[in-house]
Structure 1
Amino acid sequence: MPRLRSLTLIAALFAGLAAPASAQQALTAPGPEGELAGTLVTPKPDHPLVLIIPGSGMTDRDGNNPLAVTAAPYRLLADALQQRGIGTLRIDKRGMFGSKAATADPNAVTIADYVADTASWIESARAQIAIDCVWLLGHSEGAIVALAAAQELDNLCGVILVTAPGRPMGTVLREQLHANPANAPLLEGVDAAIAELEAGRRVDVESLHPLLGRLFAPTVQGFMIDLMAHDPAQLAAATDEPLLIVHGGNDLQIGDADAAALRAGAPYAEFVEIDAMNHVFKEVPADAPFANRASYADASLPVAPALVEAVAEFVMRPRGEEE
């Protein structure tokens, strides 16, 4: 009897190894100068695929960033969706990480360029798996890319915005910088600098505090000018595809005014507020900024279950039943 039990366990082990359909696999897509790189989790038959578009700066396919963000929100969300049979495609932006070969200068980019990359990713995914359309999930700045893509691409199932700006990024950036009283000594000239970028003009960083030099570095000003020219609420209003807006009540970077702007722009959209969720999809205590910030470096914390539920329910809903 013990021998039979051992053989049964071994057979079960090999049976599991022989079922790779849900395993993660590398996927590439054509970029402007070289390959874009990402990670694909194949959906179960008749289940959807969600393309996760990263947030600002050097954010990788897992949602991590060299600036002390190691919470892995995209990877953890993908893992949770995989448990429901939902596939995901997580990507590195052109010129960064696995997509470094796609362009020599990752800062020489526009939102339109990211939309072109999104189209390339969709074509690569559709060549790999049998799907009619792809859902776009944009996080933070990635939400602007997702909304812009919705104006250009035809093969989308719909759009999901998670902790997304609802106002132009110049407004959001100005508010973020002034929100912390400790920043006051650094902010001389910052409002004028943002106003110049909003007007489409580059600024001289010598007029700013040295600690802000990286934020307004000449190498990124072209992208900042392009980014600030996009109004997320207007893009949401022009989006015909099913639209889900998910806002976190404990988000330190994106406030209630942004959620309100998106809802005003697209009143038809489905809206979910997750009171305890922060900007990196984690549940944290209210009025606890240190715990909130600490979660940015904690990949052991799961993403908010309500986020998984909201995304899964929205993308699994039969077409024609969108609210």
Structure 2
Amino acid sequence: MFLHLHRLIVLLIGPIVPVFSLLIAAATIPGAESTAVHITTPTGRIHGTQLVPESNQPPVVLIIAGSGPTDRDGNSAVLPKPNNSLKLLAEGLAEYGIASVRYDKRGVAESASAVREEADVTFDTLVEDAALWVQQLQSDSRFSSVTVIGHSEGSLIGIIAAHKTEADAFVSIAGPARKASEVLRDQLRPRLSDPLWQESERILTALEQGDTVAAVPPQLEVLYRPSIQPYLISWFRYIPAEEIQRLTMPVLIVQGTTDIQVPVSEAEALKLAKPDAELVMIEGMNHVLKPAPLEREQQLATYMDPSLPVVPELVESISQFIHSRVTTDESISQRDNANGSHYLVFRNAGP
């Protein structure tokens, strides 16, 4: 049911990566405590993992996964092996004294039972889930601040949730600037015959206007079947480049230069829309936060390699942003950067 919706989202932004970790293992970071956590919604629980370093009132981040049936660790049921990108990100941040919560989105992995009917789930439902997580963290006196981190599609979810909850900061990783319907058009045009393209354009235009479509060609059912249309209508309503302008907290935009799913131009457009945001371009980082060249076969190998670490500069740039812009806790020791950094930071000329 809802898995088909996630397969559509994979078409929009590309494949992401596989599953599980339903039981919480012991923390792999010395001194860090890993526990199972959840939020309760009217249709069921949304489950996640909380990783807290041994530190007095550390800052905490909420990590929101990207598109597709992507679990809390950054793994998707679409691919046969995991990459653990978000798990590795959380563990890396813990080494810098930053706590985290990452979760299985509604309808995914341990949170699968929180979806009853596909037609009842909208994009706003996922935003509401993220906002509940933020509010739960804001009410926890153990944490000094709450930063929202959104990856890929999770970037837009995070932008809106951060605004709704007045989070302390927001970080976008590989987040599109354009609305999803435009991304979908770009990806479908070269794949569809002219007659199917015309049908797709007819349906897309109606959905963008908030209208459902009863007549859907069988070849396009996986994309536009009636039960999925409420989600698409709600999703297409948002333009990330406009939503990010509403944020008043510190914002960091991170983009890898070898991301073959979300190009650098999307991050540049977000920066243009939010001039006071910091923009970090990380050389050689792909969509799953791993070091990779642009060559497709080598790219795909990283999507299924949990032993490959995330790019260190990603963890460094986020931790530097949080400790310098969000928290004034100078007791947090940061890893030596003696080897130099391979990313560029673009800041507004003002404070």
TM-score band by shorter chain is 0.7 to 0.9
Q: Following TM superposition, by how much is the alpha carbon of 1:60 offset from its aligned partner in structure 2, in angstroms? A: 0.7
Of the three residues 88, 105, 115, the one matched with 2:100 is: 88
Deviates more, 1:228-237 or 1:66-75: 66-75
Q: Following TM superposition, by how much is the alpha carbon of 1:275 offset from its aligned partner in structure 2, in angstroms? A: 2.6
Separation in 1 of the partners of 2:226 and 2:239? 23
1:161 aligns with 2:168: no
1:291 aligns with 2:298: yes
Of the three residues 100, 114, 135, the one matched with 2:126 is: 114
2:222 counterpart SS class: coil
Separation in 2 of the partners of 1:157 and 1:258? 24
Give 2:109's aligned residue: 97
Deviates more, 1:101-110 or 1:296-305: 101-110
Give 1:195's aligned residue: 205
1:131 aligns with 2:143: yes
1:297 counterpart SS class: coil
| Residues 47, 316 of structure 1: 8 Å contact kept | no
| Residues 170, 250 of structure 2: 8 Å contact kept | yes
Deviations 1:247-294 (A, max 9, x none): 1211122123312221111011000111311111111113x0121122
Partner amino acid for 2:165? L
What is the correspondence of 1:1-323 to structure 2 with a 5 Å cutoff?
22-43=32-53, 44-68=55-79, 70-105=82-117, 108-126=120-138, 130-154=142-166, 156-178=167-189, 183-185=191-193, 188=197, 189-203=199-213, 206-207=216-217, 210=219, 212-286=220-294, 288-319=295-326
Q: Which has the greater radius of gyration?
A: 1
Alpha carbons of structure 1 residues 138 and 205: separation in structure 2 relative to 1, 3 Å: farther
Name segments (4+ residues, structure 1) moved above 6 Å: none
Counting aligned pairs with the same residue, the percent is: 34
| Residues 115, 121 of structure 2: 8 Å contact kept | no
Separation in 1 of the partners of 2:71 and 2:243? 25
| Residues 136, 160 of structure 1: 8 Å contact kept | yes
Computed over aligned residues only, the root mean square deviation of the Cα atoms, in angstroms, reads: 2.6
Separation in 2 of the partners of 1:35 and 1:312? 30
Separation in 1 of the partners of 2:78 and 2:215? 21
| Residues 169, 249 of structure 2: 8 Å contact kept | yes
Separation in 1 of the partners of 2:40 and 2:312? 34
Q: Following TM superposition, by how much is the alpha carbon of 1:230 offset from its aligned partner in structure 2, in angstroms? A: 0.2
Q: Following TM superposition, by how much is the alpha carbon of 1:100 offset from its aligned partner in structure 2, in angstroms? A: 2.9
Size of the aligned set, in residue pairs, is 300
| Residues 96, 106 of structure 1: 8 Å contact kept | no
Partner amino acid for 1:312? S
Q: Following TM superposition, by how much is the alpha carbon of 1:101 offset from its aligned partner in structure 2, in angstroms? A: 3.7
Separation in 2 of the partners of 1:204 and 1:251? 36
2:120 counterpart SS class: coil
1:230 counterpart SS class: coil
Q: Following TM superposition, by how much is the alpha carbon of 1:131 offset from its aligned partner in structure 2, in angstroms? A: 1.8
1:213 counterpart SS class: helix
| Residues 58, 65 of structure 1: 8 Å contact kept | yes
Partner amino acid for 2:98? I
Under a length normalisation based on structure 2, what TM-score does the superposition of the two structures give?
A: 0.78
Deviates more, 1:126-135 or 1:302-311: 126-135
Q: Can you give the 5+ residue segments of structure 1 that lack an aligned partner in the other structure?
A: 1-15
Deviations 1:7-42 (A, max 9, x none): xxxxxxxxx99x985121101112122222100001
Deviations 1:283-313 (A, max 9, x none): 1113x01211222112121111111111111
Q: Following TM superposition, by how much is the alpha carbon of 1:150 offset from its aligned partner in structure 2, in angstroms? A: 2.5
Under a length normalisation based on structure 1, what TM-score does the superposition of the two structures give?
A: 0.84
Alpha carbons of structure 1 residues 320 and 90: separation in structure 2 relative to 1, 3 Å: closer
Partner amino acid for 2:231? F
| Residues 95, 106 of structure 1: 8 Å contact kept | no
Q: Following TM superposition, by how much is the alpha carbon of 1:228 offset from its aligned partner in structure 2, in angstroms? A: 0.8
